[in-house]
Structure 1
Amino acid sequence: MEIVAFLSDITSHLNDLNMKLQGKNNTVCNLTSAVCAFQKKLELFKCDLQQDLLHFPKLLNQTAGTHRHHNHAEFLDKLIKNFQTRFGDFPLGKQVLLCMENPFLVKNIAEFSTEALKICPWASAASLQSELIELQENLALQESLCDPTTFWTKMVPAADVPSLQKVALQILTMFPSTYCCESAFSTMNMVKNKYRSTLSNEHLHQCLRLALTPFMPKFKELVAQKRCHFSH
């Protein structure tokens, strides 16, 4: 039962990570931060196995904290290496992530440009460095309180920092997960059920656009364009 308790605890932590990786408004920056944080948690979990089992309540309840769990530590070692293998080559560096979240906190501008060129090789390091400095000195933007997507798409003047904004938009529009695809596929299964076997592909496409669009119709304007015929 000890191994079952351990697997239950570690699976619970993995499920927490999985929940953070889902959602419509998550950017690749959010998901990268979540994965990096979990990798550090794995190191913490490994140390905790030899101490108070603070992060393994079911295992603590099962063993009463009386045993050293070397076999479980080996399992965590393999899990740590697995995460390093899967995410070790991901090009988003710390300075790029920091710039996407809050460009005014970036101190090492040269390192930022180096990391940005790994993602956007078409960009110019000199332009990125100059534009970031100009952006950091913009007092109006320093006072803006909004999320990163709104900041880079609506607040930052594209004419002043064209290369920097283009890099930001390329990063923020990356597909970080298959959540949207899976959600759309589930919606399609609900729309095209066994009771609608004659539904054409064109009508299915239109139904999916209505079901998946984030835009809310302006019902008052649509109604105002119609006229009632009281003679009928």
Structure 2
Amino acid sequence: MLSRVCDLQQEIATFLRQKNLPGADHFSNPQWLARLALLTDITTHLNDLNVKLQGKNILSTDMYSHITAFEVKLRLWEAQLAAGQFMHFPRIAACAPDDVDLNTCVGVVTSLREEFAPRFTGVRPLAPGFKLFTSPFDFPVDEAPAPLQMELVELQCNDELKAKYRTASPLSFFRDLVLPFNKFPNYIEHVKRIVAMFGSTYCCEQLFFKNEIYKVLHSLPAK
């Protein structure tokens, strides 16, 4: 939506003036347009994340990976924007430097990061279990739960399974290759719990996107 507003700003301004509607003057205000560019770039990044979290084959482990990566990106963007570097914000980069308020740019990303992090605090303790699912052949045996340790040793020493795992995603590996339950009962139960977790990661939109980004948007001054 914001991308279309940026692309059609002259047409929108003309329409507002013809209809005697408020807001047309904003489109001749370079500082306001710079803030619009900032928010457009931010929402583009959020939309990209939202797309990654959708799909019937997206697991909780995938969600955690994408969320963790996005948090790292937010910290990177904070530092880069503070230094006046806009390589990941193309619409801001197209604005005149004097029209861009770096404090506003950093403040928006900081607010987003601070609102974002608490939404997933309940997921972070699950990280070791996720890693045990996604990287069973590299997971330190002594860090695994005791009931899984002997099974993990057997799994990691099985060269045939290890070779097959290298050419498949975790989901397809466990879906298409049924491990002998009598050899890996505890690990198979762990896999089942991870696969069934959360049902659908699409709920992330309800958790975050529709609430927090608009809170940040509406906190900015219109002038």
When normalised by structure 1's length, the TM-score is 0.65
Aligned structure 1 segments of 4 or more residues deviating by more than 6 angstroms: none
Output the CA distance in 1 between the equivalents of 2:75 and 2:105.
Answer: 13
Output the CA distance in 2 between the equivalents of 1:149 and 1:42.
Answer: 29
Output the CA distance in 2 between the equivalents of 1:56 and 1:11.
Answer: 11
Give the RMSD, CA atoms, in angstroms.
Answer: 2.0
Identity of aligned residues (%): 30
144-153 vs 42-51, which moves further: 144-153
Output the CA distance in 1 between the equivalents of 2:98 and 2:156.
Answer: 52
SS of the residue corresponding to residue 86 of structure 2 reads coil
Paired position in structure 1 for 2:201: 177
Output the CA distance in 2 between the equivalents of 1:132 and 1:81.
Answer: 38
Output the CA distance in 2 between the equivalents of 1:92 and 1:156.
Answer: 27
Output the CA distance in 2 between the equivalents of 1:74 and 1:137.
Answer: 51
Which of 17, 39, 44 aligns to 1:12? It is 44
Q: Is the 8 A contact 1:31 1:176 kept in 2?
A: no
Q: In structure 2, do the counterparts of structure 1 residues 75 and 10 end up closer, same or farther at CA, with 3 Å as the change threshold?
A: same
Which of 107, 123, 128 aligns to 1:95? It is 128
Q: CA deviation at 1:68?
A: 5.2
Query: Does residue 1:81 correspond to 2:103, yes or no?
Result: no
Q: Partner amino acid for 1:70?
A: N
Which of 162, 178, 183 aligns to 1:160? It is 183
Q: CA deviation at 1:65?
A: 7.3
Equivalent runs, 1:1-40 vs 2, <5 Å:
1-40=33-72
Output the CA distance in 2 between the equivalents of 1:32 and 1:163.
Answer: 23
Q: In structure 2, do the counterparts of structure 1 residues 104 and 56 end up closer, same or farther at CA, with 3 Å as the change threshold?
A: same
Q: Is the 8 A contact 2:34 2:100 kept in 1?
A: no
Q: Partner amino acid for 2:185?
A: P
Q: In structure 2, do the counterparts of structure 1 residues 134 and 43 end up closer, same or farther at CA, with 3 Å as the change threshold?
A: same
Paired position in structure 2 for 1:227: none
Q: Is the 8 A contact 1:5 1:58 kept in 2?
A: yes
Q: CA deviation at 1:95?
A: 3.2
Q: CA deviation at 1:143?
A: 1.0
Paired position in structure 2 for 1:140: 160
Output the CA distance in 2 between the equivalents of 1:67 and 1:5.
Answer: 10
Q: Tell me the matched-pair count.
A: 166
Q: Is the 8 A contact 1:28 1:172 kept in 2?
A: yes
Q: In structure 2, do the counterparts of structure 1 residues 65 and 29 end up closer, same or farther at CA, with 3 Å as the change threshold?
A: farther
Deviation per residue, 1:206-229 (Å, 9 max, x gap): xxxxxxxxxxxxxxxxxxxxxxxx
Q: Which runs of 5+ in 2 are unaligned?
A: 1-32, 204-223
**Higher Cα Rg, which structure:** 1
Higher relative contact order (CA 8 A, sep 6+): 2
Which of 35, 59, 75 aligns to 2:92? It is 59
Structure with more of its chain in helix, by fraction: 2
Q: In structure 2, do the counterparts of structure 1 residues 66 and 105 end up closer, same or farther at CA, with 3 Å as the change threshold?
A: farther
64-73 vs 8-17, which moves further: 64-73
When normalised by structure 2's length, the TM-score is 0.68
